[in-house]
Amino acid sequence: MPKTLFQKIIDREIPAKIEHEDELCIVIHDIQPQAPVHLLIIPKQVIPRVEAATAADQTTLGHLILTAGTVANKLGLAKGFRLVINNGPDACESVPHLHVHLLARRQLNWPPG
């Protein structure tokens, strides 16, 4: 199976602006930001999408959310931020490698979409 775009970034085959990295994930700035702050929190382990996750992925999935909070605190996003996970083509999933979008520093509408 060919590497996803995110695997190539993790392997440093494609450059990215990295905000945070640890043993389980990498956090990069989105190259097409939809808000003044738009980060992608990407697990190093490939999980194609939420519906493909298993109980064995629980630690990694929880780590992504905790990392979002850590990075948001580091960036001073106390006024708020939104986390988004797209699952499948109808949700605009563009890379088959689960990732969490962190969006902040603009008013975000509700309902989204």
Kindly state the helix (H) or strand (E) to which residue 34 belongs, with its residue range. Answer: none
Residues 6+ apart with CB under 8 A from 46: 4, 7, 97
For the chain, strand residue ranges (E) read 18-21, 25-29, 37-43, 81-84, 100-104
Say whether 97 is catalytic: no
- Which tens digits make up the pLDDT trace of 12-39? 999 999 999 999 999 999 999 999 999 9
CATH tag, 5-104: 3.30.428.10
What is the model's pLDDT at position 82? 96
pLDDT over 80 (residue 44): yes
Mean pLDDT along residues 44-50: 95
Which of 38, 97, 99, 101 is flagged as catalytic?
Answer: 99
What is the model's pTM? 0.94
